[in-house]
Structure 1
């Protein structure tokens, strides 16, 4: 993206704090006051001391000293403002941008997360936005200060000696052009570096989350090798970046030396021929030194500028990515939901170049019915459940709730009326109380306790070290599988949705835990439209209807008794190899 386009993207965030920005730039201008005045003060003192017609007295020295002290005091106050309020402004911009990108990521569909590494997103939300903070605070200040110093230096130097000043300032554009080649290389390497940091974060996250699997297979060396590959890729990118930076610095130092050579030879010539005074020469040298330091700082600050621009570009890429699951303009809100679900000639596939998972699929689930879906992996069971809350959109046909196409329902309203329980229960790293309350964040403690009782979880929770205030650990690692499931059931009880989806909710539990959780689920499903996906056929015997799926189609349907009497596919699965559906 062009710099102008990126600046337009970030400008609204600056505009929010425009008053702070203006004051910050004024303070930045004041920080240059003493630096710009010092050469003039020294020139005045030198000229008076060397001029036979004048006498350098204590009065002159004191006046000049007090003038400089006053300017220095102003500089100190302005610097304090820049370092505090200016940085806070940058942090506020970072906070606003992080909030926006996080909220945007919350709107993205499952398909987006299937294709995007979480570690990469974490890097963009943290590292990239921190670079934008530094950019937001320092870039406006540095370039504004640089502009003031260059203009002020030019105004003073041109009055001292026109030819020498013109030569010095003509060399500056050549210096910038020569450095631009390396600046472009630094930008490309900086972006590569951020991409590689995201990949490295993903590798670390994946390895640490699966640390038990790693240890169980004694594959620490395998994971170390994978980590080292990503780690050394990052090293290679950094090497490239630092080579460009080294060339960048050589160009700067070379032009510095060239300019001082010009000042020494030409300045010496003008001094010898009395075309410039000793005081003017001293001031001239100090201003050239300040000018070179300013140009060097601006050019060297390109590194920070590049990091900021790269961060803005990566931020813009995320914000420009639109979710394929959004509310229709005329979307309605569901109310008084009965729970009638209809699949009408539904076609669906996950990607364009893949086969259809569902083709001309039809299904009606009446309000309050308990429907079970069984079948081998890949038969389309989970897909059916994913289409109801619109985790994905159908390619053809419709999925409706109470006669309304789910694509015409507000997402928030649709999902508020659906409770989902999965095999892999996700608990947040907080207390038991906080995890149950997630089902209804505004619920009082009494409702949370009641939900725990209905889920059969109250007693074991009270036996925990701190009861409902017990910390469950990251992803609930401090609890057993059965305990996590019952907490998730309590969470759904608290939400109290009219539609319930159970996606293999007990398949990972042992028999004892399954019996306890199954009793809680039976209580939970009363009076709700329930769709249950199960691998254990023993858990669906009491369903109102069982769908048997194979090769992505319904091959049998009926009650457990009907299907057993039919002696078909379901009967074979139930009577062969135990109760597990393979």
Structure 2
């Protein structure tokens, strides 16, 4: 690596200072003017060369560290995207964000600051100690006596720094959690006039982060003067003993040798401080790297078999055979669920909250694997199908539509970035979205804002439907796609859904009667089991759970529809 080579050159040139200092002092004492001139020019040249290599080492190593940080960020983000939904059930958003936004910069900045020093420090220290032995082995032994004390102090400080660094990461993760949560929930906070409560909560977490940082600052602040005291002690001992050798007429030891020896001692002391800082920084990096690589080492439980089935365009047949499922706590959500959906058939899932409707929908695109039984598409167990090709054939319109930052066009073609303008427009027309899009000042170039909040719920939902139409899936999953809309918006979205469902296998999690009536068959779930199956009229006539749900949830809708008709 060129940057490391430059660092070695800089260290070697720096290590020569003591030898040069000895020669300069000796030339002065001997009155050698020409030798002094040559030494002066040589020192000037040495500093020019050192400056060139110092610039190169800083630039090249910084570039390498920035690329490393970029690759780590990309790897962390890509890995997070590859993990299954089960992974996110017990993870806080701030925790994952801090791994990318806090841990990676900590590693990069710390390594960048210490990599050069970790090369130059030991080289300078070793070269200086060799020079000291050449000048006076007696004084060198005197200096070496303090090394064990120095090592013990650095080791103790390093252990405390690692604990402090881990606490810093955790406290700033808490700050990130609160910030993300309160920004996302700002409407709720304002509706309850809870701004001061949340501000106080943020201040408390921020103060905890401050305390954690100051604990690490105390360690570092105490280490520096301690090492300086040890270095100064060595310097004073050398000055005293060297002066004694000169005044006592010790042969072979001159003022120049003493000056060179003092410079070398000073370099060893500076290198010692540098190595101490490196030790503390390494402990800090260890805490950040531990969290980051724990994330990167997390394995997905949705594994593909070798040579999986690859769907080009599936028929759309969906089958559940004695399927059971439970989340991480082990509580069964689905128990012995079996049903089939023929290609092009529309099936509605109905039941009370917690009955397992959304879980059924999540098993089809293999967001989770069942804990028992088999989920099949076109006769193939989804665990034997390439995940990417399976999900390419499935379109999902959720209850709460998420639009990404960008414009309307980008959001419609999210599943097909290569789509043409005509295809985008035709999808919007089919989704009953083209008219309102055309009325916007910038049309399809209109920014939707974060999560699409500049648009109404009905408009966001129709864009989501246009997105699904453009994807042209064989299997469609509607997760209560109209339940949060007003009557006018629901009518527009319902018309768009009718277009979307034509010729596609559809599994709809039903909430409103108007949606259920579009289904050819209705499955009623309760307690994770299918308790009824049939058409709307058949289930009403049975007088069982569906009829009770109808009475509770849907009669008011029929009454409202009748009043509007009158």
Calculate the TM-score normalised by the size of structure 2.
Answer: 0.94
Pair 1:390-2:369 in alignment: no
Alignment partner for residue 390 of structure 2, among 408, 414, 435?
414
Distance in 2, matches of 1:428 and 1:284, equals 66
Q: How does 1:175-574 map to 2 (within 5 A)?
A: 175-275=150-250, 276-351=253-328, 353-574=329-550
Shift of 1:320: 1.3
CA contact (8 A) 1:361 1:553 kept: yes
- Aligned to 1:333, what secondary structure does the other structure show? coil
- Give the secondary-structure state (helix, strand or coil) at the position aligned to 2:533: strand
Between 256-265 and 245-254, report the one with greater CA deviation.
245-254
Mark the CA change 1:314 to 1:32 in structure 2 (over 3 Å): closer, same or farther: same
Question: Partners in 2 of 1:490 and 1:271 — Cα distance?
Answer: 92
Query: Is 2:154–2:279's contact at 8 Å kept on the other side of the alignment?
Result: no
Distance (Å, rounded) in 2 between the aligned partners of 1:521 and 1:531:
12
- Aligned residues between the structures: 555
Q: How many Å separate the matches in 2 of 1:224 and 1:56?
A: 73
Could you tell me whether the CA contact under 8 Å between 2:512 and 2:554 is conserved in 1? no
Tell me by how many angstroms 1:367 deviates: 0.8
Cα gap change, 1:579 to 1:430, in 2 (>3 Å):
farther
Question: Does residue 104 of structure 2 align to residue 125 of structure 1?
Answer: no
Structure 2 counterpart of 1:155, from 130, 137, 141? 130
Deviation at 1:307, TM superposition (A): 2.5
**Matched residue of 2:507: which SS?**
strand
Deviation at 1:507, TM superposition (A): 0.7
In 1, Cα distance between the equivalents of 2:17 and 2:72?
41
Whole-Å separation in 2 of the counterparts to 1:250 and 1:62: 39
Task: Give the TM-score, by structure 1 length.
Answer: 0.92
Q: Aligned with 2:348: secondary structure? A: strand
For the residue of structure 1 that corresponds to 2:16, the secondary structure is: helix
Cα contact 1:339–1:498 (8 A) shared by 2: yes
2:149 to 164, 174, 177: 174
Residues 158-200 of structure 1 deviation map (CA, whole Å, 9 limit, x = unaligned): 1111111122134224302222111111011101211221121
2: CA distance between counterparts of 1:180 and 1:403?
A: 63
Query: Which of these residues, 76, 80, 83, is aligned with residue 51 of structure 2?
Result: 76
Between the aligned partners of 1:194 and 1:137, the Cα distance in structure 2 is: 19
Q: Which moved more, 1:314-323 or 1:137-146?
A: 137-146
Q: How far apart, CA to CA, are the structure 2 residues paired with 1:164 and 1:240?
A: 38
CA contact (8 A) 1:538 1:579 kept: no
Q: Distance in 2 between matches of 1:117 and 1:542?
A: 38
Shift of 1:322: 0.7
Q: 1: distance between equivalents of 2:282 and 2:527?
A: 56
Matched residue, 2:7: 28
- Whether contact under 8 Å (2:366, 2:382) holds in the other structure is yes
CA distance in 1, matches of 2:182, 2:69: 29
CA contact (8 A) 1:454 1:520 kept: yes
Give the C-alpha shift of residue 396 in structure 1. 0.7
| Structure 1 Cα separation of the partners of residues 374 and 173 of structure 2 | 39
For 1:8, the equivalent position in structure 2 comes to: none
CA distance in 2 between counterparts of 1:93 and 1:355 reads 43
Which residues in structure 2 correspond to 1:93-132 (within 5 Å)?
Answer: 93-132=68-107
DSSP 3-state at the match of 2:531: strand
Is the 1:348–1:394 contact (alpha carbons within 8 Å) kept by the matching residues of 2? yes
What root-mean-square deviation, in Å, do the aligned CA atoms of Structure 1 and Structure 2 show? 1.7
Structure 1 counterpart SS, 2:374: strand
Q: Is the 8 A contact 2:325 2:371 kept in 1?
A: yes
| Corresponding residue SS for 1:546 | strand
The structural deviation recorded for 1:540 is: 1.1
Deviates more, 1:104-113 or 1:162-171: 162-171
Are the equivalent residues in 2 in contact too, given 1:134–1:308 (CA < 8 A)? no
Among candidates 146, 153, 163, match of residue 121 of structure 2 = 146
Range with greater deviation from structure 2 (284-293 or 238-247): 238-247
Unaligned runs of 5+ in 2: 558-566
Shift, 1:397, TM fit: 0.6
Q: Give the 3-state SS of the residue equivalent to 1:32 in structure 2.
A: helix
The CA distance in 1 between the partners of 2:55 and 2:220, in whole Å, is: 31
Report the alpha carbon displacement of residue 578 of structure 1 after superposing the two structures with TM: 4.3
